[in-house]
Structure 1
Amino acid sequence: MIKIISLLFLLFSVINTSHADLLQSGFKVEYDVEYNGFGLGVSKRSLSFAPPQTAIYKSTTTPEGFAALLISETVTETSNIHISRNKIKPSLYRLVKNKKGNIEQLQIDFNWKATELNNSYLKTTEALQNNTYDLLSFQLKIMQDLQKNKTSMQYRIATKKHTRDYNLKVIKKETIDTGLGEFEVIKLQSDLTEGKSQFTFWAAPALEYLPIKIEKVNDKGDVFSFIIRAFTVQK
């Protein structure tokens, strides 16, 4: 009964704030994180805004439960983004891994004026192409594109070691169960290509196509899953 009431309250809140547009008003979301079916912890994300016209999408992933006894690493990702009604353009992506005081950092700069992409890990500068995103900002772009009823999308994603093109297509509609209850979702998936990770997203129209479940399968076949457990509209 409590879960049903919570779900109804969530949906009522979304309906009454949908005119604000989550990509313009902001939100907070939490995902349970699994690795090959084993619970790892939680990923807490927030979309907030700082002047002038800068959105900040931040993700902090920490171990929980039994995994916390085995893993001590905290991963913080931040993407600075310009969001308009038609475009999402990242300007800076930062990744910080903290393992018992040992810090590993990555910075990717998107210099749109000079059309340059700078990667601190690779120590390279390459031509910055349109539709280039980092691992956080492209998930917001998926929301924006699905709101435009797109069924196929192409993104160029800059990561620590590579900048690669990914083609995603809507596969089907289905219903999935989460910690917040059942959701009608749009399932979309990237092409399966040797040497590249494959992404699958389950995006909920009731939450303006926010991905409520995400799976990433790396080139070794390992599966990382993110399943929604909490959601709040920013006020």
Structure 2
Amino acid sequence: MLLCAGALLPTSLIAGELTQYQANYDILRKGKNHGEAVRELKKIADNTYQLTYHSNIEWMIFSDSREETSKFTFQNGKVTPHHYSMIRTGTGPDKDYKIDFDTQNKVVTSSSSEYPLECEWTDDFQDAISYQVQVREGLKKGETSFSFPLIDKKGNRRDYNFEVVGKEMIPLPIGNVDTIKVKRLYDNDKRQAIAWFAPEMDYMLVRMWKGEKGTEQFEVQMNSFTVTQPTAVTAAPTPVQQ
């Protein structure tokens, strides 16, 4: 087991570009493993990236498999989403929908609606996973609070608000990691969500915890991480594994 995984990862990346990577996670409930998740970021064109998040969960008679994809541009430190899709299968109703952000005409469209969604446009829109990239960029600049407007498939606006609540060294399958602890702010105390980002790993999301009414729903812990782009140090991928 690595004593400090972050110290082994390169952080001198190409200026103005995002780190391309693949991160693997264990999904836990009450300390027991009930699934796995993979987060991957790729550059697909100039200033254009694709973020995917794929998870599989099995717990008693419950199952959930989902894949989310976000395509966005990244310029001057700002993430601008253009296309989001989500496919979910398992226990309960399946879901499959797409949302497009037309920045030129300033409209949002959904595969579940024949017409553009009735929502007031803002250049600050994020989709359901692109905001996570923007949080990382904010943390790099030393920001301590974040607020993002998201639009769901019906055109409803949901404001996601976060604040930095401290620093913490946490034990993970990859070793002990120094992190910045970020809490999501809800309108009430019934739900809780906390995320840990590792500065020495280019502010990667290394752990996430969600609960409701004080009871844990699930926890996600990074178990491996690979940089998938050339860096100023070496052109080879840099794996960090258990």
TM-score range, shorter chain: 0.7 to 0.9
Q: 1:116 aligned to 2:110?
A: no
Q: Which letter does structure 1 place at the counterpart of 2:129?
A: L
Corresponding residue to 2:18 among 13, 21, 24: 24
1:25–1:202 CA distance, 2 compared to 1 (3 A): closer
- TM-score w.r.t. structure 1 length? 0.82
Cα distance between partner residues in 2 of 1:224 and 1:165: 22
After superposition, give the CA deviation of every residue in 1:157-206 in whole Å (9 maximum; x if it has no partner). 23456421122111111111101001111111122313985432111101
After superposition, give the CA deviation of every residue in 1:209-230 in whole Å (9 maximum; x if it has no partner). 1111112346896623221111
1:23–1:159 CA distance, 2 compared to 1 (3 A): farther
Q: Which residue is equivalent to 2:42?
A: 48
Q: Which residue is equivalent to 2:7?
A: 11
Cα distance between partner residues in 1 of 2:15 and 2:24: 19
Cα distance between partner residues in 2 of 1:219 and 1:103: 26
Cα RMSD of the aligned pairs, angstroms, is: 3.0
Cα distance between partner residues in 2 of 1:185 and 1:55: 25
- Aligned-pair identity in percent equals 23
Cα distance between partner residues in 1 of 2:73 and 2:30: 34
Cα distance between partner residues in 1 of 2:110 and 2:2: 46
Cα distance between partner residues in 1 of 2:13 and 2:227: 12
Q: Which residue is equivalent to 2:233?
A: none
Equivalent positions of 1:1-235 (< 5 A) are 3-4=1-2, 11-12=7-8, 14-15=9-10, 17-20=11-14, 24-35=18-29, 39-63=33-57, 67=58, 70-99=61-90, 104-121=95-112, 124-160=117-153, 162-194=156-188, 198-217=192-211, 223-235=217-229
Cα distance between partner residues in 2 of 1:160 and 1:37: 34
Cα distance between partner residues in 2 of 1:221 and 1:68: 16
Q: Which letter does structure 2 place at the counterpart of 1:96?
A: I
Partner of 2:136: helix, strand, or coil? helix
Q: Which letter does structure 1 place at the counterpart of 2:106?
A: T
1:156–1:197 CA distance, 2 compared to 1 (3 A): farther
**Once the 2 structures are TM-superposed, how far is the Cα of residue 34 of structure 1 from its aligned partner?**
2.9
Cα distance between partner residues in 2 of 1:95 and 1:150: 29
Q: Which letter does structure 1 place at the counterpart of 2:100?
A: D
- Check conservation: 1:111, 1:128, Cα contact below 8 A: no
Higher mean displacement: 123-132 or 76-85: 123-132
Structure 1 unaligned spans of 5+: none
The alignment covers a number of residue pairs equal to 225
Q: Which letter does structure 1 place at the counterpart of 2:138?
A: D
1:130–1:36 CA distance, 2 compared to 1 (3 A): farther
Cα distance between partner residues in 1 of 2:212 and 2:130: 19
- Check conservation: 1:152, 1:167, Cα contact below 8 A: yes
Structure 2 unaligned spans of 5+: 230-242
**Once the 2 structures are TM-superposed, how far is the Cα of residue 54 of structure 1 from its aligned partner?**
1.9
**Once the 2 structures are TM-superposed, how far is the Cα of residue 27 of structure 1 from its aligned partner?**
0.5
- Check conservation: 2:16, 2:75, Cα contact below 8 A: no
Q: Which letter does structure 2 place at the counterpart of 1:141?
A: Q
- TM-score w.r.t. structure 2 length? 0.79
